[in-house]
Structure 1
């Protein structure tokens, strides 16, 4: 009887093995086409990027050098620029409704601004580090450099849900700049040329984009891919990096074909 039970368990394990191997299989890079390139100053330490079809907002980090800017043309001088306090390090940003939300790295401070003119609207507190920020049109979605996303109330910034990111043959830590597009959360992986697309319900990684061919030839170790902005009208993603002198509009293969919803 004992031998029969062991045999049954062996058959079960063998039956599950293909599914386990599939879950651990490395992700293939999703091909993409380049729709447009725009040159710009190469001194931006890009942390957050957002485009609403007419205006751009960008945050640039580093202590004593952090700023938030608004553009109609990202290759020209900004319409407005807000310099942060010397002890504040700007991180990810997003726009929701009539407000702009900006994270700070280690200060635990979410800064809020009026969308129309960048006038300050006060701040909210949070624990831990701030890295990337986006919105699904209802909640704010934040990364902190780990393998976890937190979904937060835009009025209080209280955590409503936590989501572990998983998939492929690796652990997805160092989630950085975020963008919500076609029902997926797109995330830069810090210190790599990778962008991954995350299912916001399950945390599964659905796609992987490798921007290595777009990276500038630079000896600066900080010149890494960072910055994603959805261009809804042209159905693409604007991507760039820290100290990158170019913005690229790319369209990943199959982009939007299985859309799960749109952020406002």
Structure 2
């Protein structure tokens, strides 16, 4: 069975490692980082060219199943996969880790988008820990009253806030290191996306009483969905039989 994994996440790499010896697995990466963590099996890098390009790829490569294990905010490719698989008759499974839920001691302010987060930010704090990815920095470029610590894997491009320090790093991170980062940079507000999974910075923010601007996930296509790589592997094995 030939499987296309739409990847870039921990779940995608774990899945490829679990089933690469059983199936012909190709993981597709968007190509937004120059040195991505490579999964087991074959890897392709770059976009497909929209729904039509992905539909052609499924046909030309004789793909038997697609697992969409992209980031929860990769709405475009998830939507394209749902349409292309529906048109091609190729089974599709989505792997989306559960989102975060605020608990006792959390001060979260949920917003629908990065522009909404930028609008609310000055009322919550002035020293900002921004962990929304380098592509979202432009939404905060007009806030010259705030100082930003932005963490990303790659340097930002395009418009950025005028008072910005960039920290190039790749997780996972520990609660202790996140606590030291927040204290050392005198952070008084955290901005992040509801990506789900274990997240040390949210624990550190709770412990230190730092408010969080949490950007909600975009809507997902109507497709069969599981929350773990193990469940996706079981689905593939059942399909393969």
**Greater fraction of residues in helix:** 2
TM over 0.5: no
Q: TM-score, normalised by structure 1?
A: 0.25
**Higher RCO (CA-CA < 8 Å; seq separation 6+):** 2
**Greater fraction of residues in strand:** 1
Q: TM-score, normalised by structure 2?
A: 0.26
